[in-house]
Structure 1
Amino acid sequence: MLLKWQKQPGTHLFLGGAIAFLLVGLILVLHRYYSFYATFDQGIFNQVFWNGIHGRFFQSSLSSSLSTNVVHAGEIPEVYYHRLGQHFTPALLVWLPLYALFPSPATLSVLQVALVTAAGIVLYFLARLYLEPLLAAMVGVSFYGAIAVVAPTLTNFHDISQIPLLTFGILLAMEKRKWWVFWLLAVLLLAVREDSGIGLFGVGAYMVLSRRFPRAGLATCILSFGYMLALTNLIMPLFSEDISKRFMMERFGQYATGEDASTVEIIWGIVSNPWRLLVELIAPFPGTFLYLLGQWLPLAFVPALSGTAWAIAGFPLLKLFLGQGESVLAITIRYAMSVVPGLFYGAILWWSMHPKVFKPKFQRFWIGCICLSLVITIAYNPNRTLYFLIPDSIQPWVHISLPRQWQHVNQMRSLLAQIPPQASVSATTHIVPHLSSRREILRLPGLQLRNDAREVIQVEYIIADLWQLQQYQVAFTGDRQQLQDIVKLIDRLFNTGEYGIVGFQDGVILLHKGVTSLPEATSAWLAFRQNL
């Protein structure tokens, strides 16, 4: 059976695309991590997993620093803070045994690439139910060339990377009438995060509207919608008030009337003002239209013609278009990946009804669309993964070469080795992932946290990569402001004697609480400080 499948036309094309995506993806994400370009979110997820294998499930001091109690009320971050109040992600427990075998932030990067690669494989089998092998292979290769797939895969680990695999699995189980698999995967999809039920609701809506499985579709809609309401209004508030006071307000605060809002109140604010709903859906029009073009591009714009694509992907799109903030229309970040499954399934069904369109001329156009999608992705330099190839700024020129970055990394590692594994530490964002396998860690400029004894303590170690901020501050105001703030903080801590400088190499400074500064390290810091 396997040999027969391998000999089918198009199989080698798809396998080549899958293998290339897996290998190139692994090389890039591992290089991104080991060359210290992974950032804060990678540290959050790694600390959550690390705490999990030590029996402290979903706890994170890094997540606590983002909670409404800290951000809005000015409270001290807590090591025992449960992240489930921010994002309800029990599906991560599925991967905990793998992390226990290989406890490293790099494991999460490998897992993410593997999940997305597996999603493409399931998509190919789903396409083969309707399409001849070559056309199915083109759909699969399109997946591996999509901006909304490639760019979010090459970033920090995120929970949304599970959604394509589970959604394609749900659709494949539906097509094969394997209902026990369908419901099992539906439950897992709901467990990915609090808003993953939106995509499942789209699947249920399609099942009802297409009249193929109306009863199962109605049950799917009720399950997903009811679960999301119960979760966000009853369960998540048991852990913290983040869902109502921070996340709902930051994303959908324009529909609220007070300083906080539940999902029910936000939904009512949306439906009670249809004119504002219409404006939010299309504004800003150029950005919305370009976002859709970017999502359709790898499939040669076929999803735009597919009612199924609109039915399933329309609900995740609705969530994005109704939200506020720059990230809602950013096709290179993780939220865009939640739209992908509906678009590809819709394209499969459209092709099943229009197979004669798949002529050599259209094939060449489609290949051009996939290539253009990859070129755009590379040009975007998603998450600075390709920093060694693509300049971050032309005017002024900002580019860090591969040899220079690895020279910097090698000097930084000697300072990291001086920090004991159990010590409390505060670090700049690119160093956080490498130190996040510990109980007590913050991102600079944070220095205080509440430990397991419920006592407020100040971190023992501070480590800051000022060289990297120095490289980027000439073109990016955020890096410039961060550099200024951290330098002021170091000056204050050094001048008061609260912390001693125990290491300084290539623009990376290490401070230790309550010790005397080393003369050589101090001289190196003061020379660097004067040049700034």
Structure 2
Amino acid sequence: MGKTWVSRWREDEQLKPVIIAASLFFSLTLFFAVHRYYSFYSNTDHGIFNQVFWNSLHGHFFESTLSSSLSANVIHNGEIPSVSYHRLGQHFTPALLLWLPLYALFPSAATLNVLQVILMTAGGIVLYFLAKHYLPPQIAVMIAWSYYGANAVIGPTLGNFFDLSQLPLFAFGLLLAHAKRCWWLFWVLAALILAIREDAGVILFSLGVYFVFRDKSPQIGLAVCTISLAYMLALTNLIMPLFSDDISKRFMIERFGHFATHEQASTLEIIWSMISNPWRLLVELVSPIGKKLDYLLSQWLPLGLIPAVASAAWLCIAFPLAQLFLQQGDERFAITIRYAVALIPGLFFGAIIWWSGHQDKFKPKIRRFWKICLGLSLLFTFTGNPHRAWFFLMPDSFSPWAYRPLTVQWHHVDQVNTLLAQIPSDASVSASRYLVPQMSARRAVLRFPDVQFRDDQGNVQSVEYIIVDLWQLNPSQSVIKKERREVAYSVEHLDKLINSREYGVMGFKDDALLMKKGVESESQAMMGWLEFRQKIDTLVKGLVEG
């Protein structure tokens, strides 16, 4: 009888260091990611996904008031956010339904942190077996270690839940299925990659280009390219507009508005604008050259810079890299946010293919250099404090000094939790962004200062509760300019609501304010708020004037 896969695993001595690395990655990222959530460092994006899961669990698939608040109809047309808004008009993410049974067992925003860590960890295990198909076990182990030590893997895993966390598992699985010629699994995983989100087809298209030019399966490559391109164009131009106009009115303009000639543009119009002006396309691809080289070096570093000289890596990342470099804004250059994960499959597979043709170069000097690069990647990840996941280990700033001890942060958490406990689980809520995730498992939740929504009957309602944590954004606590200005913005809106007597102050603890619709303010809570206003008034004026 042939050996079972379990027995083969047990006999694979090289698997043990990979399992150790995977266990360390899983344990540490899980601890810090979950701790970050319970410490009130997760924010609106995490709440959006949690509300999508919660609504889907209750039969309202992919609906979200939080996403509605960010829609083109609300931002550009001044409409009221709706509880029945389908997020599929912004991001088409049917693959999320795969994990709905897990969420049903543990319906909590923290479950999404756990799911994300599981997905990213599993991706590294599949990567090891993919590398081992092409390479000796020693190099395959180094490839797996590089994955678990990559800034572009660790950083996003520690942050808010994001849909691309499914990509490493699906993409490495697809590449392994291709190597094993297991075509049914290959096409299933290709479909799952497309189902991750509307632009995941760009990644699949790039892998198809590799199959055409570098692999012995050009017919498979052409099929992959054709299917992924057709799917993306049909999805963004025909299907997603059925849910909302966000693709043409918001996302394409926000990301590629410098290629648009009107206030709105479809994906086809943006693509045509790019290819009809090749000189501008080239300029946008390479400039600003310094930031783009720094970004690439950060991506190459854990692999010992090998992807820089690996033609397979360049083919596999060509289109997702172009998509990233052609966008607007500096956020795309952040190695620790979700966009960085789009390049992970292509970079690591490209490195595997390079090593398969240069195994003789795996010598002590090269191994030492590789390990040094991997160590630097881990060092830069730690010192970068991605998503402030270890705020209690590193200050937010050295000059000016800004540091929050763990005891201080958890005292604040305890205080705010007493206010959150007063909000019924089915009540409509408007919350400040660091409290949105905690409040997002409900039909109607908004990010403050939004307070009105359209209910299931189409009627406009004001939320029943408002909870705003100003301690987290306090100018004396935060050194981030955007957060400091948010205090002035929030205080201005809170003053209006209190003065209108539509809401009463129910509680004020540690700079966190709880208000309820249609009640009189409690005297002690109101006194706490007024004392806070006097204390912060000078700072707020300075922020507004600045």
The two structures have a TM-score, normalised by structure 1, of: 0.98
Q: Is the 8 A contact 1:10 1:135 kept in 2?
A: no
1:373 maps to: 377
Q: 3-state SS of the aligned residue for 2:466? A: strand
Q: Distance in 2 between matches of 1:501 and 1:526?
A: 11
Distance in 1, Cα, partners of 2:418 & 2:38: 14
Q: CA deviation at 1:496?
A: 2.3
Counterpart selection for 1:260 from 259, 264, 269: 264
Give the distance between the partners of 1:4 and 1:93, measured in 2 at CA. 33
The residue number in structure 2 matching 1:519 is 523
The residue number in structure 2 matching 1:427 is: 431
Aligned to 1:127: 131
Instruction: Tell me if the contact between 1:131 and 1:348 (Cα under 8 Å) persists in the aligned partners.
Output: yes
Corresponding pairs, count: 532
2-structure distance, mates of 1:100, 1:444: 28
What CA deviation, in whole Å up to 9, does each residue of 1:68-106 have, x standing for no partner?
011111111001000000000000011111101110001
Q: Per-residue deviation at 1:37?
A: 0.7
Matches of residues 288-307 of structure 1 in structure 2 within 5 Å? 288-307=292-311
Q: 1:471, CA displacement in angstroms?
A: 5.0
Q: Which runs of 4+ in 1 moved over 6 A?
A: none
Q: Following TM superposition, by how much is the alpha carbon of 1:380 offset from its aligned partner in structure 2, in angstroms? A: 1.3
Which residue is 2:533 aligned to? Answer: 529
The residue that corresponds to 2:174 in the other structure is 170
Distance 1:139 1:163 in 2: 17
Aligned to 2:539: none
Q: Which residue pairs with 2:104 in the alignment?
A: 100
Between the aligned partners of 1:363 and 1:385, the Cα distance in structure 2 is 31
Aligned to 1:344: 348
Structure 2 residue 461 is the aligned partner of structure 1 residue 461: no
Matched, 1:79 2:83: yes
Contact 1:38 1:433 in 2 (8 A): yes
One-letter amino acid of the structure 2 residue matched with residue 347 of structure 1 = A
Q: Return the alpha-carbon distance in structure 2 between the equivalents of residues 475 and 117 of structure 1.
A: 33
Which amino acid in the other structure matches residue 368 of structure 1? I
For 2:466, give the aligned amino acid: I
Instruction: Give 1:146's aligned residue.
Output: 150
Contact 2:260–2:273 (Cα < 8 Å) also in 1: yes
| Secondary structure, aligned partner of 1:270 | helix
- Correspondent of 1:44 among 48, 66, 75: 48
How big is the shift at 1:12?
A: 2.4
Write the deviation string for residues 503-522 of structure 1: whole angstroms up to 9, x where unpaired: 01111110111101111111
Post-superposition offset of 1:11? 2.3
Alignment deviations for residues 470-491 of structure 1 (CA, whole Å, 9 cap, x no partner):
1566522211221011111121
Mean Cα deviation higher: 378-387 or 63-72: 378-387
Tell whether the 8 Å contact from 2:253 to 2:263 is kept in structure 1 after alignment. yes
Aligned residue number for residue 57 of structure 1: 61
Q: Secondary structure at the match of 1:348?
A: helix
Counterpart of 2:503?
Answer: 499
- Deviating more after overlay: 380-389 vs 140-149: 380-389
Structure 2 unaligned spans of 5+? 537-546
Q: Distance in 1 between matches of 2:467 and 2:432?
A: 7
User: Partners in 1 of 2:290 and 2:105 — Cα distance?
Assistant: 47
Counterpart secondary structure, 1:70: helix
- Name the aligned partner's letter for residue 116 of structure 1: M
Question: 1:87, 1:193 within 8 Å by CA — same for their partners in 2?
Answer: yes
Q: Is the CA contact (8 Å cut-off) linking 2:471 and 2:477 kept in structure 1? A: no
Residues 1:161 and 2:144 aligned together: no
Q: CA deviation at 1:144?
A: 0.5
Q: Partner residue of 2:213?
A: 209
CA distance in 2, matches of 1:91, 1:264: 25
Q: How much does 1:126 deviate?
A: 0.3
The correspondence for 2:231, drawn from 215, 221, 227, is 227
Report what 1:179 is aligned to: 183
Q: Determine the C-alpha separation between the residues in 2 that align with 1:50 and 1:172.
A: 34
Distance 1:332 1:156 in 2: 11
Instruction: Tell which deviates more after alignment, 252-261 or 381-390.
Output: 381-390
Hey, what's the Cα distance between the residues in 2 that align with 1:223 and 1:126? 24
5+ residue gaps, structure 1: none
Q: 1:210, CA displacement in angstroms?
A: 1.6
2: distance between equivalents of 1:507 and 1:474? Answer: 14
Residue 192 (structure 1) shift: 0.4
- 8 Å Cα contact 1:398-1:471 kept in structure 2: no
| Contact 2:402-2:477 at 8 Å conserved across structures | no
> Aligned pair 1:438/2:442, yes or no?
yes
Distance, in Å, in 2 between the alignment partners of 1:353 and 1:169 is: 22
1:356 matched residue in structure 2: 360
**Aligned equivalent of 2:543:** none
Aligned to 1:275: 279
Conserved 8 A contact 1:233-1:262: yes
TM-score with structure 2 length normalisation? 0.96
- 1:365 offset after TM fit, Å? 1.1
Q: State how far apart, in whole Å, the 2-side matches of 1:210 and 1:493 are.
A: 63
